[in-house]
Structure 1
Amino acid sequence: MKIAPASLFHKWNAWMLLVLKPLGVWGVCALAIVDSSSIPMPIDAIVIGYVAADHGKFVIYAFMAALGSAIGSLVPYYVGRAGGELFLLKRVNRERYEKLRDRFEKQEFLAIMVPAMMPPPMPVKLFEFAAGVFEMKPVWFFSAIFIGKFFRFLLWAAITVFYGPTIVQTIGHAFHVHLGLILAGAGAIIIVIALFVTRKIFDRRSGTPLPIEDADRPA
């Protein structure tokens, strides 16, 4: 009798949860490492479950889940750093690759932190892989992932503490239904912050204007 791959996957997930759940906060960290590095796990639901059982440790659970996620994300990051450039160059020409890299480098921290804040089905591993390809500094990459994931898990934990796990399911359903609008809003926020950062790059103290400001000045 053949066993479907999906069935094996769910059995593996169940086994992992059974083994690591008794470890408490360290179990959350370990599950987050597995989720970010290789095997997808329902890490948001896991954090919510832990918090629902012990409200007093909701910050610790969020912190450990974010730490584990940041550690696990180093796997796709270093995979991209090791050979991702050749992978991309087989699919795009050198000019397109350089444009993608320049665009990423201008707002690399936000380009990693914002996707990390989003729950599934956001393809965060693709952004982590890209960060490695474009050689984002490991310390900034790790910080961006940690901050984004900590904000995400802390939000879920706080909602669970104040309103219970039932409302979390309602919010998750609404997120999936309106995913397009949420992504559009997040993109708009990234653009606004990127413009602000660009403004700061120009030396405002010495009175150096932005190119657009220079163009608007009367001759």
Structure 2
Amino acid sequence: MDAIKHILSRYTAFLWALLKPLGAWGVFAIAALDGGFVGLPMDPIVASYVYTDRARFLLYVFMAAAGSSLGSLVIYAIGYEGGEELLRKRIAPERFAKIHAAFDKHPFWALMFPAMLPPPTPFKLFVLAAAVSEMSFVRFLLAVFSGRVVRFLALAVLTLKFGPDVVRLTGDLFRRHYYWGLVAVLVGLMVWLVIRRKKRKTVESTEASK
């Protein structure tokens, strides 16, 4: 395990040295590659940019979210052209049915929620599922971008407060307590949705009474 961590650390350092001169476009490029092809150490790279250029942390957050959104279009295109068979090969029938039902009922949230979460969340499977369910192009981009903004903004805030080592600490914690983390995020999202719905009803009732 230590050997694997050492290899990943050196790989991340190599990517950081390669991308650092590119500035915000380096974040965009690695996010696009991560979203559309192989998984790359996105969190350490984004954290490094944020920590070394604290004044522009929001720029790195949005560039990472934009790159990830555009990169995901590669997976979206594959899924749209016949990804159902590929998706069925990768997950159990029961899980396929649950994911498909989620996209039928709440397509935006079914994609935004996993987009918010760090690895080991199988985000590309949800991108495939979105394409298989024929989610609209605009809604797809908005869902991925919104979820990625939440994810990278949280990462940036933690990095500014605790330093870049927070990536390793939170990553280990999330992997050890993956399902509890999912439950916590899901509960928070549900509470936010309930509050939002109540506010909307209050506004509608106020306007109706005028």
**TM-score interval, smaller chain:** 0.7 to 0.9
Distance (Å, rounded) in 1 between the aligned partners of 2:195 and 2:86: 33
Q: How many residues align?
A: 193
Q: Secondary structure at the match of 1:119?
A: coil
Q: Which residue is equivalent to 1:156?
A: 155
1:84-138 superposed Cα distances (whole Å, 9 cap, x missing partner): 1344578988xx9787544422111111111111111111000001100110001
Alignment TM-score, normalising by the size of structure 2: 0.76
Q: Which residue is equivalent to 2:123?
A: 124
Q: Which residue is equivalent to 2:103?
A: 104
1:183-204 superposed Cα distances (whole Å, 9 cap, x missing partner): 233445566778899999xxx9
Distance (Å, rounded) in 2 between the aligned partners of 1:25 and 1:70: 15
Q: Which residue is equivalent to 1:172?
A: 171
Distance (Å, rounded) in 2 between the aligned partners of 1:197 and 1:105: 22
Alignment TM-score, normalising by the size of structure 1: 0.73
The unaligned stretches of length 5 or more in structure 2 are 1-6, 206-210
Larger of the two Rg values belongs to structure: 1
The 5-angstrom pairing of residues 30-69 of structure 1 reads 30-69=29-68
Q: Which moved more, 1:76-85 or 1:125-134?
A: 76-85
Tell me the CA shift for residue 168 of structure 1. 3.9
1:113–1:144 contact (8 Å) kept in structure 2: yes
Distance (Å, rounded) in 1 between the aligned partners of 2:70 and 2:52: 25
2:112–2:144 contact (8 Å) kept in structure 1: yes
Q: Secondary structure at the match of 1:115?
A: helix
2:102–2:110 contact (8 Å) kept in structure 1: no
Distance (Å, rounded) in 2 between the aligned partners of 1:175 and 1:108: 25
Distance (Å, rounded) in 1 between the aligned partners of 2:124 and 2:168: 24
1:101–1:134 contact (8 Å) kept in structure 2: yes
The unaligned stretches of length 5 or more in structure 1 are 1-7, 206-219
Tell me the CA shift for residue 166 of structure 1. 3.0
How large is the Cα RMSD of the aligned pairs?
3.4
